[in-house]
Amino acid sequence: MESKEIAFEVALKKLEAVVENLENGELSLEEALKSYEEGVRMADICSKRLGEAEKKVEVLMKTNAGKFKAVPFEEAAETKPKKKK
């Protein structure tokens, strides 16, 4: 199955299962290595999916006129007021 075809939730569940199996400690070395490789692949898919989602997130920001406008996530983070010390 291609990584593009795997949904975030599916990859996360597979990753959780891999972690549980590895923590259980009942796998042979070969099985543990295969499981670890699958876990790394699932973690990579999850990371990519989260990155894609972050790029799509839009944050509503109030303009000077009191109206709201959609702003890309990165732009909103850059214009966030900084805390004064």
The structural domains of the chain, with segments of one domain joined by +, span 3-56
pTM, full prediction: 0.63
More confidently predicted of 82 and 79: 79
Q: Residue 53: its pLDDT value, please?
A: 81
The residue behind tokens 């983070």 is 77
pLDDT in tens, 29-80: 999 999 999 999 999 999 999 988 877 765 555 566 667 677 766 666 666 5
More confidently predicted of 56 and 26: 26
Residues 20-25 have a mean pLDDT of 94
Collect contacts of 15-23 with beta carbons under 8 A, ≥24 apart: 15/39, 15/42, 15/43, 15/46, 18/42
Q: What is the CATH number of domain 3-56?
A: 1.10.287
